[in-house]
Amino acid sequence: MTAFSKMTKLRLLKIHNVDLSEGPEYLSNELRFLEWHAYPSKSLPACFCPDELVELYMSCSSIEQLWCGCKISVNLKTINLSNSLYMTNTPDFSRIPNLESLILEGCASLSEVHPSFGRHKKLQFVNLVNCYSLRILPSYLEMESLEVCTLSGCSKLDKFPNIVGNMNCLRELRLDGTAIAELSSSFYCLAGLVLLSMNNCRNLESIPSSISGLKSLKILDVSGCSELKNIPENLGEVESLEEFDASGTSIRQPPASIFLLKNLRVLSFNGCKRIAMNLADQVLPSLSGLCSLEELDLRACNLREGAVPEDIGCLSSLRILNLSRNNFVSLPKSINQLSRLEKLALKDCVMLESLPEVPLKVQKVKLDGCLRLKEIPDPIKLSSLTRSEFKCLNCWELYKHKGQNNMGLNMLEKYLQGSSPRPGFGIVVPGNEIPGWFTYQSKESSIRVQVPSYYLDGDANGWMGFATCVAFSAYGKSPLFCHFKVDGKENYPSPMYIGCNSMQALSDHLWLFYLSFDYLKELKERENEAYSELELSFHSYERGVKVKNCGIRLVNSPYTPSWESPIGHLIVASKEAASSYIDALANSSSYYQWMHDVFFSFRGEHTSNNFTHLYPALVQRGIIQEDRELEYVRVIESSLLRDIKESGLSIIIFARDYACSPWWFDELVKIVGFMKKMKSDTVFPVSTVSYNVEQSKVDAQAESYTIVFDKDEEDFNEDMEKVKRWMDILTEVAISSGSESSKRVNGMDWPVGNRFHGTDMEYVLNFLKVLKERSDLDIDFEFDVIL
């Protein structure tokens, strides 16, 4: 290759993605910068003089040695020969006196470095990562400028050199995965060392007591050193220590001095099973001295009942606590004093039966595989500033103890009862049926809901957000994600997911979560833009997780849980009170052929809580028409009016928050108005029923509507006629019904003012049954099947 022979003044050469069979015979001695990826020759040209060379980058080259013979390169500062698989020798570093950076990572054939390496005065950065054949380093290191030395993955290197002279500049020393069995006592000379990492040094048996001389040490990692049995007691003298990881070691007795390190932020004994067997009185030392500790990992330490000290609540800075795979039955109640705790992991604690109240700011509680767990704490007191999540895969005892499909919903509702705002909450529990509490349900892996912009107006009487439930089976280790689409566009990130990567879910599970509209506003790219439709889809990127069905519910504020008895009325208005009336209509020019037996209207949070089982039952039997897109709309559209007109019977359920939306009154006006139109001069019967509520509360409700109207009149000054129509219609349907038990209309006794303490579905369907028995109504369905 002679092309370069004429380039005698060439100073910069950069070659990438060029496939050549051989390298050049000549390179300019004027070169300052040489970068040649996958250089094809065994060495640089013999005639090349590198006196002017400053930077050399030749990764993935075929070089065996950099150059032949002894060459001087006084200006060279950087050598990068990474992943040069055939390189066996390094140059004489004494002839490269100003070298600062040496990168030989992945030089798998390199077995030793030149002895001059250990005395180099200017080297600052050394990277010999994964030099698998490297066996020998110089016996002594006297490198006063060295700052970072990385020897990780040099699996045949079994000895680290003695430290000689001043090496105070060395800040990081990484010996991970080497065959080193012991460290020289001369380590105390590394006064400036900040990080010492020796993870997976499987031959390491001890750490010299001279380590106490490392007064600047902040991070000590000996994780995976399976033969390491003892830590020097004087490690506690290294007051600067912030992170200590002894995971997977054979340590039997952690030095008590470690638990007095005031600056320690991270402490891990993950997998140190022998600790519990050697603890005096089977209890860990007091933790109260670790005033700065943020992360504590005691996974799989074979800790038994009482091994976790009561003073764990003194860890005022603790954010992450991992006690998974231990054998205690309960935990100290003082855990709820961990005021900054964000994550609590107790996975596979198979003996754990109960969990104390968790701290207010906790965001994640992982309880997967806690087979005997019967109780989890009430989430009602959780912080109103952060999202919280409980994950309970395969918690079968909890499933049996709390009820098959109700425990997750109860937890969710309790969370919603807490102080506002409620940003978000999630829980994963065993189960396979979407609770009826979720108003909209889909048998697919996605669901959409209409969300008019006024739901986001921030009104205290408005809407908080939405709750979702998805039933899934997981037989793999892939996470299940929830993705959002707004008005058909996926312009939201995915803030909600659950990981199934720790274990297989042995049966179906339910994932229930709640997100506030305010939280969605923060995620949205165009924060102030209104939207009308929200779609949620659930999927996994890998096989093994199958979504079976899902449901969603809009949640209003203030939230009242479903188990509290609402104040409300059931109003049933029928246009076909008797056969004579039907005959009259049939013979009249205004006769209308009914397309639906029942138009069912339930408005307000309280009725939604208590009538959700009736609605799908009527839909399933074809008694009413399902139209979820019309459930929440600002105005009454023509299709809704059509349903009202085409229904022979209208059922309107009132709750105390019925008056929170003006259009609900518009709907009532349309229903009653159309019925008046169709009845001609026939008396129009109206039955009013209070359910599970005292009459005094009924009267109070009528008063509450008046208050709402007084408030709304200020907003409807230009449409006072509409407000008057609302007030008139409420008077006409007699919201406060009185105490009479029946009223005779058109020769029939109609129930009025009855109180019923059964379920909503049983009550309404029984009421319809009475209608059928007492009239000649042509209601085409069988009650006994529905009930």
Sorted by where each starts, the structural domains of the chain and their CATH numbers stand as 1-138 (3.80.10.10), 403-564 (2.60.120), 568-786 (3.40.50.10140)
What tokens appear for 305 in the block? Answer: 């009942």
What is the distance between the alpha carbons of residues 646 and 47, in angstroms, rounded to a whole number? 99
Question: What residues contact residue 306 under an 8 Å CB cut-off, 6+ apart?
Answer: 282, 283, 328
What is the distance between the alpha carbons of residues 578 and 618, in angstroms, rounded to a whole number? 23
Least confident window among 114-123, 459-468, 584-593: 584-593
pLDDT at 144 over 50: yes
What is the distance between the alpha carbons of residues 114 and 144, in angstroms, rounded to a whole number? 18
148-152, 623-627, 703-707, 778-782, range with greatest mean pLDDT: 148-152
Per-residue pLDDT, 194: 98
What is the distance between the alpha carbons of residues 338 and 312, in angstroms, rounded to a whole number? 8
- Closest to 765 (Cα-Cα) out of 562, 566, 572: 572
DSSP state of 375: B
Per-residue pLDDT, 278: 55
| Alpha-carbon distances of 636 from 160, 514, 645, rounded to whole Å | 81, 29, 13
Label the pairing between strands 440-442 and 424-430.
Answer: unpaired
Beta carbons of 492 and 484 less than 8 angstroms apart: yes
pLDDT at 559 over 90: no
- Closest to 540 (Cα-Cα) out of 488, 470, 487, 486: 470
| Model confidence pLDDT, tens digit, residues 4-33 | 888 989 999 999 888 888 889 999 999 999
Of residues 595 and 324, the one with the higher pLDDT is 324
pLDDT at 588 over 50: no
- Closest to 464 (Cα-Cα) out of 423, 419, 425, 525: 423
pLDDT at 762 over 50: no
**In the chain, what percentage of residues exceed pLDDT 70?**
63
| Model confidence pLDDT, tens digit, residues 660-707 | 555 566 666 776 666 666 543 333 333 333 334 444 444 444 444 443
DSSP state of 736: S
pLDDT at 593 over 50: no
The 10 Å CB-count burial string (b at 16+, else e) for 561-584 is: ebeeebbbbbbbbbbbbbeebbeb
Question: What residues contact residue 522 under an 8 Å CB cut-off, 6+ apart?
Answer: none
The 10 Å CB-count burial string (b at 16+, else e) for 604-615 is: bbbbbbbbbbbb
CA 661 to chain CA centroid, nearest Å: 34
Which segments of 133-183 are extended strands (E)? 140-141, 148-150, 162-163, 172-174
88-97, 393-402, 597-606, range with greatest mean pLDDT: 88-97
CA 483 to chain CA centroid, nearest Å: 12
Whether omega before 421 lies within 30 degrees of 0, making that bond cis, reads yes
What is the distance between the alpha carbons of residues 425 and 183, in angstroms, rounded to a whole number? 50
- Closest to 118 (Cα-Cα) out of 149, 97, 139: 139
- Closest to 384 (Cα-Cα) out of 562, 560, 555, 516: 516
On average, the pLDDT of the chain sits at 76
CA 173 to chain CA centroid, nearest Å: 36
Least confident window among 54-63, 402-411, 509-518: 402-411
What mean pLDDT do residues 538-551 have? 84
Which segments of 231-371 are extended strands (E)? 243-245, 266-268, 295-297, 320-322, 343-345, 364-366
| 552 — pLDDT class (breaks 50, 70, 90) | very high
Per-residue pLDDT, 18: 87
Classified as helix, coil or strand, 600 is strand
Classified as helix, coil or strand, 720 is helix
> Would you give the end-to-end CA distance of the chain in angstroms?
92
Question: What residues contact residue 683 under an 8 Å CB cut-off, 6+ apart?
Answer: 745, 746
Amino acid code (one letter) for 297: D
pLDDT at 577 over 50: no
| 2 — pLDDT class (breaks 50, 70, 90) | confident
Of residues 499 and 478, the one with the higher pLDDT is 478
Per-residue pLDDT, 688: 37
| Model confidence pLDDT, tens digit, residues 359-395 | 888 989 999 889 999 888 888 777 666 778 888 888 8
Backbone angles phi, psi at 699, to 5 degrees: -60, -40
DSSP state of 701: H
**In the chain, what percentage of residues exceed pLDDT 90?**
41
| 716 — pLDDT class (breaks 50, 70, 90) | low
pLDDT at 728 over 90: no
pLDDT at 754 over 50: no
Amino acid code (one letter) for 452: P
Classified as helix, coil or strand, 692 is coil
Amino acid code (one letter) for 647: S
H/E element holding 164? none
Side-chain half-sphere of 567: how many Cα atoms within 13 Å? 18
- Closest to 583 (Cα-Cα) out of 452, 753, 778: 778
User: Beta-carbon neighbour count of residue 744 at 10 Å?
Assistant: 9
What is the distance between the alpha carbons of residues 328 and 466, in angstroms, rounded to a whole number? 37
pLDDT at 352 over 70: yes
pLDDT at 3 over 80: no
Amino acid code (one letter) for 696: S
Of residues 604 and 519, the one with the higher pLDDT is 519
- Closest to 730 (Cα-Cα) out of 658, 679, 638: 658
Amino acid code (one letter) for 758: G
Per-residue pLDDT, 540: 82
